[in-house]
Amino acid sequence: MDIFNSKQAGDSEQLGCLHSDWLKEIYAQKWFKLFVPKELNGLGLSLPEALEVEEKLARLDGSLGWTVTLCAGAAWFVGFFDPQLSTEVFENPNSCLAGSGFVGGKAEKKGEKYLISGHWTYASGVLHATHFTANCEIWEAGKLVTDSFGNPLVKAFVLKKDEIEILDAWHFMGMKATGSHAFKTDSLYVPENRCFEISPKKTFRPEPIYQFPFQQFAEATLAVNILGITFHLQSLLKEAFWKRNARKSLEKEYLEFYSKLERKGERKLEKVRSEFYQTIEKAWLELGQSGSISPKKLNAISKISRKMTATCRKWNSKLYPFAGLEAAREDSELNRVWRDFHTVSQHSLLIFPF
| Cα–Cα dist 345/312, whole Å | 9
Beta bridge pairs of residue 110 = 113
pLDDT: which is higher, 246 or 70: 70
Region 37-50 average pLDDT? 97
| Cα–Cα dist 70/83, whole Å | 22
Dihedral angle over CA of 74, 64, 234, 308, nearest 10 = 0
Q: What is the CATH number of domain 6-79?
A: 1.10.540.10
Q: Judge whether residue 352 has pLDDT over 70.
A: yes
Region 26-49 average pLDDT? 97
Give the per-residue pLDDT at 248: 86
Q: Judge whether residue 210 has pLDDT over 70.
A: yes
Give the per-residue pLDDT at 249: 87
Q: Judge whether residue 71 has pLDDT over 80.
A: yes
Region 6-13 average pLDDT? 95
The tens digit of pLDDT for each residue in 142-177 reads 999 999 899 999 999 999 999 999 999 999 999 999
pLDDT band per the 50, 70, 90 thresholds, residue 1: low
Per-domain residue ranges for the chain? 6-79, 97-202, 212-350
Kindly list the distances between the CA atom of residue 110 and the CA atoms of 58, 162, 185, in Å, as whole numbers in the listed order: 43, 22, 17
| Cα–Cα dist 136/117, whole Å | 9
Q: Which fold has domain 97-202?
A: Butyryl-CoA Dehydrogenase, subunit A; domain 2 (2.40.110)
Beta strands 154-160; 97-110: pairing state: unpaired
The tens digit of pLDDT for each residue in 255-311 reads 999 999 999 999 999 999 999 999 999 999 999 999 999 999 999 999 999 999 999
Which among 213, 183, 185, 182 is positioned nearest to 287, based on CA atoms? 213
Contact between residue 16 and residue 176 where contact means Cβ atoms under 8 Å apart: yes
**CATH top-level class for 212-350?**
mainly alpha
Kindly list the distances between the CA atom of residue 52 and the CA atoms of 55, 128, 176, 211, 228, in Å, as whole numbers in the listed order: 5, 23, 23, 20, 10
- Maximum separation of any 2 CA atoms in the chain, in Å: 78
